[in-house]
Amino acid sequence: MRSTDRYVAQFVESFPTPMEPGVLYISAPYSTAGHICPCGCGREVVTKLSPARYRVIFDGEVSLKPSVAATGLPCNSHYFITRGEVDWHGKLDADRAARVQASDRRAVESQRVASPQTPTPQPPRAIWWARLWRGVSGKS
């Protein structure tokens, strides 16, 4: 299989089998993105989309952030997909793979800490004031 240097976005409900090389599939219902590894190994790379994991940015061209470190694949590819283009970060040796995994974990953990709290619902002030006013003025 040939290697890929460009991806186009395709919005799908679920990923097709097999995936087409050069297509970054984005499934909103499952919050996942999937693509064929650009190195040419033909393996599928499925990334979970969440604030702590991967983000897809679509502005006409598709970007996937942060970098994909295919540590689970035999090829150990490491690359960015930025505005549709594959930006190689070289092959990972075991040492770098471990470091990338560690920094991925750190990123996930820091995201978890930094993630915003569920906003507390605001009391419906206007209604409350209206009620109070009615109470004070003796009108109902």
Q: In the complex, which residues of this chain contact Zn ion (CB under 5 A)?
A: 37, 39, 41, 75, 77
Nearer Cβ to Zn ion, position 49 or 75? 75
The DSSP result for 79-130, as a single string, is: EEEETTEEEEEEEPPHHHHHHHHHHHHHHHHHHHHHSPPPPPPPP-HHHHHH
Q: Residue length, the chain?
A: 140
C-alpha to C-alpha distance for 29 and 33, rounded to whole angstroms: 11
- Shortest separation between residue 104's beta carbon and Zn ion, angstroms: 18
Nearer Cβ to Zn ion, position 12 or 41? 41
- Shortest separation between residue 10's beta carbon and Zn ion, angstroms: 20
Nearer Cβ to Zn ion, position 39 or 69? 39
- Shortest separation between residue 96's beta carbon and Zn ion, angstroms: 16
